Amino acid sequence: MKDKECLENILESVHIIGDRLVLIENNISDMVANTADKTYYPIGIERIKDIFGVFEYEEAGGGRIKIDPIWERQNFVFFKAFERKCYLHKLVAPQFMGMMTEFYAKDMLDLIDFSNGGGVYSPRHKNHNINSNLSKHSWAGVAFDINPHKYPRGSDVKPPQEVIDICAKWGYYSGYYFRVRDPMHQEFFRFPI
């Protein structure tokens, strides 16, 4: 069942990853994207709810939502990562901070810009459409966007491979590989091994 869900998700979400997508019939473990020797794939919203929890919320207009503040206080924490304020789900905070530390150590922080509409917390429905599922951005830091002005949704502009690889190493899947590319977007797919 798990594999079936995973497969459905891959078929739904993975666009094409050029020579990085390996497809072998009936072998789910090979139906994944490879980047820098790391195997990775997106996971569905139900799995996100299983891992990070389900909250009550109110509609807040324009597809945005207001999450139950008690649940928020119990689950989200504020961090400051190299002058960037980050509001993170507590379960994802260690890997997020690990990732930021690696960007810092490799002098790559300039490539990670959360301003101009990018960010790590945006409680809302997908694409601000009230009829859609909740966006993974609602779980602070489970998804985040980098440099939206540079890597807009729907564009073919690929962030540097090293950025994608570091994010993947820390458990974040690049939206660049979505069927409708979302190059600014990174989302949780696993806890780091």
Report whether 127 contacts 133 (CB < 8 A): no
Of residues 20 and 126, the one with the C-beta less far from Zn ion? 126
Residue 91's nearest CA partner among 37, 50, 45, 44 is 50
Number of alpha carbons in the 13 Å side-chain half-sphere of residue 79: 21
Spatial distance between the Cα atoms of 81 and 101, rounded to a whole number of angstroms: 8
Position among 35, 86, 145, 183 found at the interface with Zn ion (CB under 5 A): 145
Interface segment toward Zn ion; rule CB under 5 A; list 40-48, 54-62, 75-83, 139-147? 139-147
Of residues 113 and 145, the one with the C-beta less far from Zn ion? 145
Of residues 89 and 185, the one with the C-beta less far from Zn ion? 185
- Least Å distance, CB 17 to Zn ion, is 18
Q: Report the SS3 class of residue 23.
A: coil
Spatial distance between the Cα atoms of 170 and 186, rounded to a whole number of angstroms: 11
Binders of Zn ion among residues 171 to 190 (CB under 5 A) are: 185
Does residue 113 interact with Zn ion by CB under 5 A? Answer: no
Binders of Zn ion among residues 60 to 89 (CB under 5 A) are: none
- Least Å distance, CB 144 to Zn ion, is 7
> Residue 163: in which H helix or E strand, if any?
helix 161-169
Burial (CB count <10 Å: 0-12, 13-18, 19+), residue 111: middle
Binding residues for Zn ion, rule CB under 5 A, total 2
Interface segment toward Zn ion; rule CB under 5 A; list 14-22, 63-71, 83-91, 138-146? 138-146
Residues that bind Zn ion (CB under 5 A): 145, 185
